[in-house]
Structure 1
Amino acid sequence: MLKHVELDPTFALEQQYADTSDKPTILVNIFDVDLRDHDAFKKAWAEDAAFFARQPGYISTQLHQGIGNSRMFLNYAVFENTAAFAATNRQPEFGPLRGVYPDSATAHPHLFRRVHIPLICVGERD
């Protein structure tokens, strides 16, 4: 079963669902997975990602793996807005997907929005 640990312990994922902006929302989810469970993790993540891909407001996702013998994975997913992401997480089919992950896996999810830095970063302007 996938364990969940807040990336920012001062602002939980559920609290982030209150965002009402209609701007794109990025999920960054950092996973810590025992080396022996990497194949099982990738299989579980693919099932999870396929579920998300079928949901309204989903745009894209990409899984990254740490280099060498790293235990770390990073998922970067884009949604039309926070409400779309929150609705996906509240689907009854979502909860059971946590159970397909290996017991060694821990997720650290957090929502982000791109930042505009002139001449450097394309992002949302205030």
Structure 2
Amino acid sequence: MTVLDRCFINTFVAPEGKEDEVVAAWKGDAEYMKKAGGLLSVQLYHGIGGSRLFTNVAVWQSTAHLRAAFVTPEFRSHLGGYPDSTVAYPHLYQKYAVEGVCEGQ
């Protein structure tokens, strides 16, 4: 990643039996974000062993690109597609250096 890259990580807890609905709502969000500009990559992860956890990892060119995509009425309209009681934990990250293990920005 370059210095400009920002990683948006959002972990979802799907309501029991509503995993397919969460994935469908996430897909709509991801398709919108891909068109918004500045999204470098996106990947959805699903916990194994009957887990209801999903984690979205999206790499953005900049914080400004991410912010611009999030504040549109079109994106806000997507949020209603998630089942009631879906819990999300969104955070914006940047690379963090740990000497001898991994590089920072």
> Common fold, TM-score beyond 0.5?
yes
Q: Which residue number corresponds to residue 121 of structure 1?
A: 102
Q: Which residue number corresponds to residue 102 of structure 1?
A: 83
Q: Which residue number corresponds to residue 12 of structure 1?
A: none
Q: Structure 2 unaligned runs (5+)? A: none
Q: Which residue number corresponds to residue 40 of structure 1?
A: 21
Runs of 4+ in 1 over 2 A off after TM superposition: 116-120
Q: Deviations over 1:18-71 (max 9, x none)?
A: xxxx72111110111123000111111111100001112111111111111212
Deviation at 1:119, TM superposition (A): 4.1
Work out whether 1:30 is the aligned partner of 2:11: yes
Pick one of 64, 81, 85 that aligns with 2:62: 81
TM-score normalised by length of structure 2: 0.90
Pick one of 51, 67, 84 that aligns with 1:70: 51
RMSD: 1.4
C-alpha separation between the residues in 2 aligned to 1:61 and 1:122? 21
TM-score normalised by length of structure 1: 0.76
